[in-house]
A and B are shown apart, each in its own frame.
Chain A
Amino acid sequence: MTSNFRAWPVVLALSIVSAPLVLMYVYLLVDTVTSTAPGSLIPYEFTLRHWTFLWTPVPGRPDIWRVALNTLVFATASSAIVLSLSSTAGYVLSRLNVPFRRFFLAGVMVLHAFPSVTLIVAIFLVLQMVGLYNSLAGVILVKAALDMPLGIWIMKGFYDTVPWEIEMAGIQDGASRFTVWRRLVLPQVRPALLALGLFAFLSGWSEFILPQVLAPDNRVQVLSVYLAGLIADDNNFDMALFKSVGVFYVVPVILLFLFFQKHLMNIYGGGTKG
């Protein structure tokens, strides 16, 4: 940073403004490992009681590890589909002279802008008809399909920045179009692949409405649905349990962000660097 102004007033101002937020996070963490008397703010004891859901399932709910595994499968599979199809479709739309190219491009744009919630009833009916209702496979396919337009669009943008001569040089060197794509072009858009993969994974991890509507069964439940179930349960409402599961749910996301934030920023930067 070029410091033609002093940094500390800005830091101070930002700290004051974000203090409530930080405080809330601290409270969230503290609350999960302590007990507090009703109406009080100060905890009176340390306890791991709120984390017992990790080894003994909450009555009437599926095993948390099973749910976590479902979430992992859901997020991984849908992001893998998004990644593989976007990286190929984006290339085709960027480079190859396919019929209806403009139509496809416009279609992708419209699909991306379309609020997907409005489709959910239709999707529900379709899934039921093809027998994929209440299955992970079904909801994975739907999630991937809805995330794909953005993925295709982003990948096309990155492919557009790869110099045309590199491909022509590859062709002249005797390589097939596919080899050129895999060995020469794909490495140039690696940052985009990484960013898009993470993006799709996080989007899958935090998806709620699709699994809630299309795969609500205990067998195929994902964490967001599990969490929503806790809060909707009026009979034995347990605030501390809800918080603990929430922390459990969000930790992987925070870890991913910490490790990959540089790559995630890339998706907005565009272009290949280095």
Chain B
Amino acid sequence: MRILLDGFTKSFGPMTVIDKMTLEIRDGEMLALLGPSGCGKSTTLFAICGIHKISAGRILFGDRDVTNVASQQRNVGVVFQSYALYPHMTVAENIAFPLEVKKLKAAEIKRQVDQMAELVHIEELMKRRPAELSGGQQQRVALARALVRKPDVLLLDEPLANLDSKLRLEMRSEIRRLQLATGITAILVTHDQVEAMSMCDRIAIMNAGEIVQIATPGEMYRNPRTEFVAGFLGNPPIAFLHGVATSGGFASVGGEAIALPASVPLPPPGSKLTLGIRPEHFGPTGNIPIRGRISFIETQGRENLYDVTLPSGSMLRSIQPLRGDVALNEEIEWSIAGDRILVFDEHGTRL
């Protein structure tokens, strides 16, 4: 079901956390709400499911205005960060609870619970209590409980934050599989860009209560709208060079001059600029040569990550397939792929 936040505003007392946000989640898509801690992701989620009353604006589920509808009548499934399983109930009772509340017949409840258990692969755990489950299993139960009443939208608040890295990988694909299998509209809240990129159809990236950009993961990575977005996405992260515009190019604070492609609309010479250069766009091939010293090498297995300190003291990162011919502190001359440079003005807006 399509979800629309229209001019959504939320204040806690005098503090406005979110100011006039507008966000549309398309029917059947999985959208990531990505942003640093404290930017208002959970607040947005809690407004959608009705835990928080919103201060202004409207929330629409399909064509239905649910702004003043109680949580119980909204038909939203939520998976909390702590899973919030009911500790005194078995797995089966946990999943059955939403159906019992609906006063379905016992046989019908049993049928739906079993069906759900099969979908999330927990058939053999039905008699256990939450305390006897691993983190990943608890997560599956929480998903089953959220999905069993066939909600219009599934909300996930940092669902992977409490799992170890191996389980996180497993549950990442598992959650996506369930979302695709049920075709449900879903919103995933996370501060982890890898989760957002790997699990979702689109990403809405938030900063300080505002949505900075909404795009598909690939589009957002290639074409970030601001310096913040460019810095948030990508692992290893993008490197920034600060400096000023010259006629036809860029001069870093330390003096490196870099000619920029004509496609970038440059501000008048002397204006402050920031260049963003991703690690994969700096290496042996490229068209803008630049000299530097290798100051750090991180072996990542298939690839190596090199930190290169420029004569001015600024730093660039380069990621390359394993090679044995460069060593720490060696002077190198590598090149930047000029057409891939991201240029930002002094407010961080992409040019």
Contact = CB atoms under 8 A, between A and B. Distances in A.
Contact of A171 (B71, B75, B86): B71
B51 to A, nearest CB: 6
Contacts of B50: 171
A259 B281 CA distance: 74
A169 interface: yes
B101 A173 contact: yes
Interface string A89-111: 00000000000000000000000
Interface string A259-274: 0000000000000100
Contacts of B85: 169
B149 A163 contact: no
Interface stretch (A1-9, A10-18, A174-182): A174-182
B82 A163 contact: yes
Contacts of B98: 173-175
Contacts of A179: 101
A166 interface: yes
A187 B145 contact: no
B80 A165 contact: yes
A170 B88 CA distance: 13
Interface string A141-181: 00000000000000000000001011011111111100100
A184 interface: yes
A244 interface: no
A169 B88 contact: no
A188 interface: yes
B80 A188 contact: no
Interface in B177-226: none
A172 B77 contact: yes
Report whether over half of chain A's contact residues are helix, strand or loop; otherwise say mixed: helix
A237 B49 CA distance: 74
A68 B97 CA distance: 45
A169 B78 contact: yes
Contacts of B146: 172
B263 interface: no
A171 B101 contact: no
Interface in A186-202: 187-188
A174 B101 CA distance: 7
A168 B145 contact: no
A225 B82 CA distance: 54
A171 B97 CA distance: 11
Contacts of B51: 168, 171-172
Contact of A168 (B75, B77, B78): B78
B87 interface: yes
B84 A176 contact: no
Contacts of B80: 165, 168-169
Nearest to A172: B78
A4 to B, nearest CB: 32
A193 to B, nearest CB: 13
Nearest to B87: A188
Contacts of B75: 174
B72 A165 contact: no
A172 B82 contact: no
The interface centre, meaning the residue of B50, B84, B98, B149 with most chain A CB atoms within 10 A of its CB, is B84
Nearest to A184: B86
Interface in B239-272: none
Given A184-B86, A188-B88, A172 B101 contact: no
Contacts of A173: 97-98, 101, 145, 149
Given A163-B82, A165-B82, A179-B101, A172 B88 contact: no
Contacts of B72: 171, 174-176
Nearest to B74: A172
Nearest to B82: A165
B68 to A, nearest CB: 16
Nearest to A176: B72
Nearest to B49: A172
B101 A166 contact: no
Given A171-B71, A172-B49, A165 B88 contact: no
25 contacts: A163-B84, A165-B80, A165-B81, A166-B84, A168-B78, A168-B84, A169-B78, A169-B85, A169-B145, A170-B86, A170-B97, A171-B50, A172-B49, A172-B51, A172-B71, A172-B78, A173-B97, A173-B98, A174-B72, A174-B149, A175-B98, A175-B101, A183-B97, A187-B88, A272-B87
Interface of B: 49-51, 71-72, 75-78, 80-82, 84-88, 97-98, 101-102, 145-146, 149
Given A163-B82, A169-B145, A176-B72, 7 more contacts: A165-B84, A169-B86, A173-B97, A173-B101, A174-B101, A175-B72, A183-B97
